[in-house]
Structure 1
Amino acid sequence: MSSSEILAANRLAGNIALGTDIDPELKYGAGNALTSAGTAASYLSKATRGVLQENNMLYGWASGSTDKQEFAILSNTAGDDALAELQRKRMTPKFTGITVLQFTDDETAIRVAKDISNADFTVAANENQPVSLPNYPTASSHRRPGIPTLGSTLAHGRYVIYLHVGVRDDDVTQLTTLAEKTYRTQISLLDKLPSLSPAEMLKLPPDPDGMLRRALNPKAMPGVGGVEYFTLDRIGYYQANRKQHLNDALYSETGADRFTRSWGTELIRTHDEESAETLRNKVIDLLVPSSSAADSPPKLPDTKCAENTDPRLKDRFVDTGERKRFQCAVSYRRYVAVVEADQIQDAHQRAAAQYALLANSQIQ
């Protein structure tokens, strides 16, 4: 994986449909950058890996949305996953899985869309049946009777869109309606995002708006790292951190439009200084719901600290999102940063260092 691939995928993330864009019920989900044929195939059918490799997939993004918080949507995108099928039968969720991939030209995208559909169909060739989407006649779609899901593939310019959608009842009309609405929503977003050539990918700025260089990097690990080192617009941030989508009202209210993570530090740009103060006072509650107030750093203005009280934090076998024991939110002009550490003194020192970085940068 090169930095150009992850930068291109992060750019695409801001133009991938959220579940609530399609159906208000689809408010839970997850998203992930796709930077190789191997990772992309895990969100399609495993049989598609060769197709993606042979046709030089450039990059992509996978996104899943569902009406059930406990439904592990990204592990259930592929239609040929037996464990996913068991989970769907047990929970009967409504869901959409959207995978968007980019190729070098329109002709390749058309060929790949057809080959992906054929590979996906042959996984269960004796059971799958073709399905027509009246408003998208060039889409290749199929389903297995008795299983309330539908897979569909469509080329759109240099992009290939793969959908895997599911409803509660084994009803082809419901599946068709959901698939068409998903295509309509996703295509309208892709039409706003010009595709990239390999040369254009290499020219993508690694730090749009200079956010990463102004965010405290406690680990000093260089390079764009995807999960822990990135800068995204608001929709891209929701794609990568879908729980935060549930806090959209506050982010919208404060005009938050750029989100950066730098190995434990999170930096958010808001509309103005007043908006930053509003977000500073509430953001830790969003990121760490189980918390209580902690002392703020002495002589450091515009800072609010908290202690993570999640009892699971002491269990090294439980994933708590890599959260530390103490968090401090500090604001400067339009910007809010959250730093964290396992000791309150370290959290205070990082807050002071972050404040100095923002002040010395003279961000407007």
Structure 2
Amino acid sequence: MSSMAKRHMWHIAAAALVVVAGCAAPTTGAPQPGEIDVRTLDIGPYSAEPLDSYDEYLHSLRHGTSLAISRLANHVATGIDIDSKLRYGTGVQEITKPDDVKNVLAEQNVPVAARNKMLFGFASGSSDFRPEPHVAVPPESTLTTVTVMQFPDSESAERAAAEFEEVDFSVASDQNERVQLAKYPVARSHWRPGTPTIGSVISHGNYVVSTFISTSKPDLADLTSLVEKVYTAQLPMLDTLAPLSAEQTLRLDLDPDGVIRRVLNPGKLAVPSVGSLATYELQGFLHWQTDRAAAKNLYAPGERFAFSGAYSPSTNSYTRGIAQSFGKGIDRFLDGAILIRTRDIDAAQALWSTILDAPDTRQAPPMVPDSKCAELPTDRYVKDWVCAVRYRNYVGYVWSTQLQDSQQRAAAQYALLANSQ
């Protein structure tokens, strides 16, 4: 019998009941079919219980810093905010302490960050050329990195910006040349004539924004235009993000939206990490995607995105401090999970329908409703099996190097969602 016929019979039965009961008050609402017993699903070694049922989050400055970086990432520009041609993500970098600055700026800037008591930061790279994992993009590509760091107050941020510029300029002071930006005259910028790169830094309240840009040819007009586009996109985003004190950072909650408790967590850990246990809005989520333009369109229904063992929070290059170090793609771990909360059930169904465009129906997890799996092409030495499940207004996305493991993860994610209501 079809689902529509069943619903029709339910309505007839309900109407008959009202007639027979006479004076009894009628019950409103449409009857709903019962859900499956998730205890019957093959979830392998994975837990189907929400995180807060077996672990308690412990506040610490280290944990709070990770949460603050994820919060900041929601307000950091990607390439598509700067210029539509910069649609590809080329790397991210978390900055948890002053020493991490050497991964996005010259190593000589570490004392500057320490002296001015930098709290945390986040960097994201973009390009007009789609990167291949661990393979540098070609020289004719345009590359940008945007780094945002928060300081205790506007005075320390302004001082740090000035010192960052002086340190970078002095690396080759006999070859570098100051550059004045027409739209942002307070920004500090320089380039090396004949070289297709430019560096610039500006303070904005408690924040410092640093950008490094590389293009195919040494055209100063093009370089300065891109820098101005970076600031036009980035600075307004920071106006909507209240800076945090060290105490406020310490007190940040792990899961204020109740999404992390619902994401598959094989290690049963309540330790936040920007790539492994974190939540994001769509803007923050896009930093981790390779084709950000396509991802923005695909994942538009998503309101919150939870990671569990998903991505590496650092670039996969040993070249430090320049845009090219963000030119080798974004690392996704060999197994992990992403949980997406959408605005309603219809949005979740639409997202689930498109999240895997070529699933193999024979590979779906046994007995799991609204589930599908596929093998993705990969250049790795192992296979890449992914599964997607939907439960109400949530869509779970899990992956592993073995099909059965992926199926068990998908079943566990579905059961976890059912148990988390």
Coarse TM-score class (shorter-chain normalised): 0.7 to 0.9
- After TM superposition, the structure 1 = structure 2 runs for residues 132-281 of structure 1, keeping only pairs within 5 Å, are 132-243=180-291, 245-252=293-300, 255-263=301-309, 264-281=336-353
- The alpha carbon displacement at 1:356 in A equals 2.0
Contact 2:87 2:292 in 1 (8 A): no
The answer as to 2:371 corresponding to 1:303 is: yes
Contact 2:126 2:143 in 1 (8 A): yes
Unpaired stretches in structure 2, ≥5 consecutive residues: 1-60, 310-335
Q: Which amino acid aligns with 2:308?
A: S
The answer as to 2:412 corresponding to 1:356 is: no
Aligned to 1:25: 85
- The alpha carbon displacement at 1:99 in A equals 0.8
Q: In 2, Cα distance between the equivalents of 1:175 and 1:341?
A: 42
Q: TM-score, normalised by structure 1?
A: 0.85
Q: In 1, Cα distance between the equivalents of 2:375 and 2:221?
A: 50
Q: TM-score, normalised by structure 2?
A: 0.74
Deviations 1:178-219 (A, max 9, x none): 111211111011111111111111122211311111112122
- The alpha carbon displacement at 1:26 in A equals 0.6
The 3-state SS of whatever aligns with 2:399 is: strand
Between structure 1 and structure 2, the one with the greater Rg is 2
Q: In 2, Cα distance between the equivalents of 1:244 and 1:170?
A: 27
Answer 1 or 2: which has greater helix percent: 1
- The alpha carbon displacement at 1:2 in A equals 0.9
Q: In 2, Cα distance between the equivalents of 1:46 and 1:296?
A: 49
Q: Which amino acid aligns with 1:65?
A: S
1:340 aligned to which of 399, 411, 414: 399
Deviations 1:14-64 (A, max 9, x none): 111111111111111232221121222220112101111122210011111
Cα distance, 1:69–1:222 mapped onto 2, change above 3 Å:
same
The 3-state SS of whatever aligns with 1:2 is: helix
Q: In 2, Cα distance between the equivalents of 1:123 and 1:21?
A: 31
The answer as to 2:67 corresponding to 1:7 is: yes
The 3-state SS of whatever aligns with 2:267 is: coil
Contact 1:292 1:309 in 2 (8 A): no
Q: In 2, Cα distance between the equivalents of 1:12 and 1:259?
A: 15
Q: In 2, Cα distance between the equivalents of 1:306 and 1:198?
A: 45
Contact 1:7 1:206 in 2 (8 A): yes
Cα distance, 1:126–1:218 mapped onto 2, change above 3 Å:
same
The answer as to 2:388 corresponding to 1:329 is: yes
The answer as to 2:106 corresponding to 1:45 is: yes
Q: Which has the higher contact order (CA 8 A, sep 6+)?
A: 2
Q: In 1, Cα distance between the equivalents of 2:403 and 2:179?
A: 59
Cα distance, 1:348–1:64 mapped onto 2, change above 3 Å:
closer
- The alpha carbon displacement at 1:238 in A equals 0.9
Unpaired stretches in structure 1, ≥5 consecutive residues: 76-86, 317-323
Deviations 1:101-126 (A, max 9, x none): 11001111111001000000000111
Contact 1:38 1:49 in 2 (8 A): yes
Contact 1:325 1:340 in 2 (8 A): yes
Give % identity.
40
Cα distance, 1:326–1:235 mapped onto 2, change above 3 Å:
same
Paired residue total? 334
Cα distance, 1:114–1:234 mapped onto 2, change above 3 Å:
same
Q: Which amino acid aligns with 1:223?
A: V
The answer as to 2:189 corresponding to 1:117 is: no
Aligned to 1:80: none
2:356 aligned to which of 274, 284, 287: 284
- The alpha carbon displacement at 1:299 in A equals 2.7
Q: In 1, Cα distance between the equivalents of 2:400 and 2:290?
A: 24
CA-based RMSD of the aligned residues comes to: 2.4
The 3-state SS of whatever aligns with 2:162 is: helix
Cα distance, 1:133–1:303 mapped onto 2, change above 3 Å:
same
Contact 1:32 1:239 in 2 (8 A): no
Q: In 1, Cα distance between the equivalents of 2:404 and 2:158?
A: 57
1:68 aligned to which of 116, 129, 135: 129
Aligned to 2:154: 106
Cα distance, 1:169–1:343 mapped onto 2, change above 3 Å:
closer
Contact 1:229 1:261 in 2 (8 A): yes
Deviations 1:85-138 (A, max 9, x none): xx78x6132232211111001111111001000000000111001111122221
Contact 1:95 1:165 in 2 (8 A): yes
Q: In 2, Cα distance between the equivalents of 1:42 and 1:3?
A: 21
Cα distance, 1:168–1:34 mapped onto 2, change above 3 Å:
same
- The alpha carbon displacement at 1:292 in A equals 4.5
Contact 2:197 2:223 in 1 (8 A): yes
Q: Which amino acid aligns with 1:275?
A: A
Q: Which amino acid aligns with 1:267?
A: L
